Every structure is written in C-alpha cells, then in structure tokens.
Chain A
Amino acid sequence: MFNPKDIIDILAENVKKTKNPFGVNKQKINSWYVNEDLPDKGEYLLFTGLMYQMIPYIEAVTSQLGKIEDSKFSKYSSLGRFVPRSLTNISLNALISKNNVDFSNEVLKSIITLLKNSNIDFLYSPDLDQYSGILLYDLGDEKYFKAHARTVANTLYQHNISKIITVDPHTTYALKVLYPKYIGINFEVYTYFELLNLTGDLEKEVVLHDPCFYGRYLELSHVPRNLLKNMGVEIKDILRNGKFTHCCGGPAESLSPKLASKIRENRVKQLKETNKLILTMCPICYTNLRKSTSNIMDLAIFLKDCVTT
C-alpha cells in the first residue's frame, strides 16, 4: 500500500493546477464531443464531470502502481513520492489504452442518443463541463475539495445554470449533496436515466450492479429498475443490491490495486451467480469489474443498443 499523503498531495496539486487529478490538459481528456451535433442552448446543462473521460488515465496510473505495489520501491517514502508524480506528468500519455478511450466515448455518445430520443432539451458546453473534485473529498482532503468545488460551482452559477444532467454517481453526489453542503450553491440535479422515457418489449434478462453512491447515498436504485422494466427487461436481483449493495473495489485502486482486486473478485462472484449480463452505471465500477468478467455492459450502451436496433 502507498502512503496516502503522497498520493493525495499529488492529486490535490494537480487539481489546483489543471482542474483534474492527473495534471493533464483538459482538451486532451475531454474530446468526445468534437464530432457530435450538440445544442448550445437548452433547459438542462449536460455536466459529465469528466469521470468517464478520466477512465483511461485512472487505468494507466493504477496499472503502473500495481506493478510497484509492495515492491522495494514503495517502501521508501521518497521514492514512493517520486514514482507516482512522474507517472502523472511525463509518461502517462504513452500508457493510455485506446479501448478505454473508445469505451468512455461510446458511453457519452450513447447518453446523447438517449437524451435526444426522449426529447430532453439539453445543452453541452465543454467550458462549463469540469471535474467535480470528488476524489479529493473521498480521500479526506476537504480543504482542496472545497477550493476546487467553489470555482466549479461559481462558474455554473455565473452562467445562470440551474438544471443539470449528470452521467455518473460520484459527480451526481458531489453536485447534488456536497456542493449545497460545502459551498452553499444549489442546483437541480438529475442523473441522465431519471429523465429518460423509454418503453419496449425486449424480453431480456440482466443483473444490476448498483454503485454505492446511487444505491446508498442517493437512493436511486429504483430508477434504472423501473426504466428497464418498462422496456420489457427482467432484472434478476442478487441479495446485495440497492441500499445494501457491495462495493466494486474500484475506489481502493489509487492506494492499493491489490486490495481493489480482492474486493472485486468477491463482488463478481455474487453477480455471476445469476448467469445474466451485468449492467453497471458508473465508470469506476465498470472498469474495475470487467477485469474479472467480460459479461458486463454500461447501462447507457445497453439502453442505446435497445432503442436503436
């Protein structure tokens, strides 16, 4: 396991400098929209929070951390500091996997298709779409989380944004719960699947992996279930679901890839008991769980495939 302070200080410094935890230019991370026909006016702002777009970077860093975890290098704090810092600045771009970039782009483009299909009046502005700072909050760095969140919330407020569509549980929690609590700015926040209006007769069966933030903190587990039921999809629920869902292990990856893998194995075992396609709705959950199973899909891609075929 790495020294948490080393990792947190690097992440905080990067967020301060570049507004994302990897110290990478935002245009490099956020380019999925370039060839999309996206409205610049609308009732809701689509705010991705860059979580899906950061997946290739999270994977690149954690795969390297995994190689040196518990090796002689990680035992020396000075080297422990040096290694991750160099990863975020120098060699990171060479480690980005095209598959991870393609996955993130496909999810976001699928969400656009779904919002348009349900006639949701939304706009997208790359300038307003920013990282929420949630990782700093989860690691206990309240000071730098608040500083970052304040700039994000103020920018949205200054642009008269009041209604927001989010695409992942972590950003949703930050905007819906943490920003009002810590910054005092309230937005009307909906995750994309809360706004969709879809029906069908699909006769498919799936098992849902509820992310901790949708299942417990935001109590939204019933929403994707109702949506899927209306489309004719049968849900084979396992014991650990909804409010009592089981973590995917992903959040442990920045400090201990080994620990993340142990938790993931336990969760995948529970999900595999159903023998059904596993649906996730969080980029961290998807990326972590798919290391132990290929029978897994993001909810957005699943829904998009259903409405377009």
Chain B
Amino acid sequence: MRIINPNLENKLKKFGSDTAHICFNCGTCAAICPLFETSFPRKFMRYIQIGAEDKIMDEKLELFKCLHCGLCTSSCPKGADPGEVMLGLKRFVLDKLRRNQDV
C-alpha cells in the first residue's frame, strides 16, 4: 500500500522546488536528458504532482544521477523547470536522510 501526501509540493517549497505542478507530462525532458533513462526526470515531476513521497524515497539513488546540466529546463515547453525541481528533490532527500540517518 502506498501513502499519498497531498501536501508534498508545499513541503518541497522550502527546498526551492515549487514548479512541478506546472508540468503537463509531455515527456520532452525525458527525451532530451543526456542520461537516456526511461522517464527521467519526468517521473519525478509526476511523483510530486500525485504526492508519492514514498516512491521518491524508494528511488532516491536514481535522483542523484541528475547532472544538473539544465537541458530539460531549457527545453521544457511549459516552463516547469524540471532541472531545479530535481535539485530541490536532492535537497529534500538529503535533509530527510540526515534527519533519519536512514541510509
């Protein structure tokens, strides 16, 4: 069973990430990302939208593969700034890991 956190995007604001709701999941970011991994970073935008905090924690290692190169942000047709959202998620996850010492 998955627990949904409807306030996830609000919670992410203090980590500098508040644009995930703008994303309409077109997949341009995933198509252009130099990592060439399935639905990356698109799926993390979606996880935030649906409040899937558990999924983000489950896939936290993958999150850190993001190079912060900014190509997704430059290419996003909606201005949802996926690159900065990913950086905000890294901050959120690192903060949570340091608090819980959950490695």
Interface of A with B (CB < 8 Å)?
1, 3-6, 8, 77, 138-143, 212, 216-217, 243-247, 249, 251-252, 255-256, 259, 262-263, 266-267
- Chain B residues closer than 8 Å to A243, beta-carbon distance: 74
Q: Which of B41-71 contact A (CB under 8 A)?
A: 60-61, 64-65, 67-71
Partner of B67, one of A1, A143, A252: A252
B94 contacts which chain A residues (CB < 8 A)? 4-5, 8, 139-141
Report how far A267 CA is from B89 CA in the complex, Å.
27
Task: Compute how far the CA of A267 lies from the CA of B103 in the bound complex, rounded to whole angstroms.
Answer: 33
Contact A266 B64 (CB under 8 A): no
B34 touches A244 (CB 8 A): no
Q: How far is the CB of A147 from chain B (nearest CB, A)?
A: 14
CB-based contact B61/A247 at 8 Å: no
Q: Which residue of B lies closest to A181 (CB)?
A: B16
Residues of B within 8 A of A140 (CB): 64, 87, 89-91, 93-94
Residues of A within 8 A of B103 (CB): 3, 5-6, 77
Q: Are B34's CB and A266's CB within 8 A?
A: yes
Interface contact B71-A138, CB-CB below 8 Å: no
A255 to B65: give the CA distance in the assembly, Å: 8
Binding site for A on B (CB under 8 A): 15-16, 34-36, 60-61, 64-65, 67-71, 73-75, 87, 89-91, 93-95, 97-98, 103
Tell me which residues across on chain B come within 8 A of A212, comparing CB atoms.
67-71
Known: A247-B71, A255-B65, A259-B35. 8 other contacts (CB 8 A): A5-B94, A138-B87, A140-B89, A247-B34, A252-B67, A255-B64, A259-B65, A267-B34
Given contacts A139-B64, A141-B94, A216 and B71 within 8 Å (CB-CB): yes
Inter-chain contacts of A247 with B (CB < 8 A):
34, 67, 69, 71
Q: Which 5 A-B pairs have the closest CB atoms?
A: A140-B90, A247-B69, A4-B64, A140-B91, A212-B69
Task: Tell me how far the C-beta of A202 lies from the nearest C-beta in chain B, rounded to whole angstroms.
Answer: 31
B50 to chain A, nearest CB (A): 22
Residue of B at shortest CB range from A141? B94
Query: A137 to nearest B CB, angstroms?
Result: 8
Contact partners of B61 in chain A: CB under 8 A: 1, 3-4
| B70 with A216: CB separation less than 8 A | yes
B58 to chain A, nearest CB (A): 14
Q: Is the CB of A138 within 8 A of B65?
A: no
Bound form: Cα–Cα A247–B16 in Å: 23
Q: How far is the CB of A263 from chain B (nearest CB, A)?
A: 5
12 A-B pairs with CB atoms under 8 Å apart are A1-B64, A5-B103, A138-B87, A140-B87, A140-B91, A142-B16, A143-B95, A212-B68, A216-B69, A247-B34, A249-B67, A259-B35
Nearest B residue (CB) for A240: B71
Enumerate chain B residues within 8 angstroms of A259, measured Cβ to Cβ.
35, 65
B12 to chain A, nearest CB (A): 12
- Is the Cβ of B34 less than 8 Å from the Cβ of A246? yes
Q: From known contacts A77-B103, A244-B75, A255-B65, infer whether A249 and B34 are also in contact, taking CB-CB under 8 Å.
A: yes
Q: How far apart sit A259 and B103, CA to CA, in the bound complex (Å)?
A: 22
Minimum CB–CB distance from A59 to chain B (whole Å) comes to 18
Q: How far is the CA of A259 from the CA of B64 in the complex (A)?
A: 12
